[in-house]
Amino acid sequence: MKLHIVFACCVVLVFGGFYASNSLTTIEASNLAVVPAQVDDPSGIASDDFNEEALDTDIWEIIQPTVGGISGTLTLDGTNALIELPEGTEFESWVGGHNATRIMQDANDEDFQVEVKFDTFPEPSTSQGIMVELNDDTSEIDRFLRFEFYRAPNGDLFGFIAELQPNDGVGQPYTQVGGLVQTPITGVDTAPLYLRLTRTGPVFSLDYSTDGEDYEGNGLGSRSRALPLTRVGAYVSNPEPSGGTAPAYTGSIDYFQNTADEDFVDDPVVEPTPTPTEEPVDPTATPTLEPGEPTPTPTLEPGEPTPTLEPGEPTPTPGPVDPIEGVFLPLIIR
């Protein structure tokens, strides 16, 4: 990614030993590092636009469960976080285990609102969403709530909410509780997709948007659970369809934003130290002489040939001096 920034300077500016005066200064910058935005908010949730070459592990924990000796992968391409799941292995957070490939960060037990932008539209039998983990210290394993875009095997898109609690070694690792919320999303068939999750007291409300601005009328349901919040993050999964094979899928996360962070800007313009350029010279400009100032005589560099006239070209003869401007007026004799 290259950023081109132009500064208009009206005074002398000093930049690391260079100066520019009354000129346009152009800067070209490549592979600029962008620090993930953080905000003084009670929830302690940090925003991140993933404009790095590696995930910021001061904020995030990468969780890549291994299923059958295989795991999903997470990479950053400089603008997005990419979670890639291979074909044939199910990476799903359901009753059989908390196995979705995900990134999670610690959160305080406070109200919050987060927005996640996905630059991918789910393939059939895949999902991408926001994960919330809760724990009241009665279990060594967190209870989790999943809020997502889910695309069914037949291609229909849904908003999906589910809650799973740990069984602590009895039967399956988890039990789905509280009923499922599955809301059809119609008229949407392309990325980007935005999810916004709002916690107010015990209630978690989910909304979606296709432009990151208009959420009106796009509610996907809610879930009430009065347990202490421990972590929040984003995930991608590929549930195996009935009688089928878990598909390969790469989910692309453009940003994860705490909306209380009003200074957060996705892909911000970074201002590096500028390098001044020379002010362009007007080749048509003719200098004027002050009254009484002698007319400059051009000199040749050593070895430079003497200019000659083309055949038939008249020889210019100096004319009378203008008493006001002090400039010779050319007199042409043909």
pLDDT in tens, 323-333: 444 444 444 44
**Residue 310: pLDDT over 90:** no
Q: Report the alpha-carbon distance of residue 110 to residue 112 in Å, rounded.
A: 6
E-only strand ranges, 107-151: 112-118, 126-134, 143-151
Q: How many CB atoms are closer than 10 A to CB 265?
A: 14
Domain ranges of the chain: 61-258
Residue 85, pLDDT above cutoff 60? yes
Report the pLDDT value the prediction gives residue 309, as an integer from 0 to 100. Answer: 56
Whole-angstrom Cα distance, residue 265 to residue 243? 44
CA distances from 105 to 45, 57, 215, 234, 263 (A): 7, 9, 25, 9, 20
Q: Which CATH architecture has domain 61-258?
A: Sandwich (2.60)
Predicted TM-score of the model (pTM): 0.70
pLDDT band at 119 (very low <50, low <70, confident <90, very high): very high
pLDDT for the residue numbered 77? 97
Q: Which of 16-25, 272-281, 293-302 has the lowest mean pLDDT?
A: 16-25
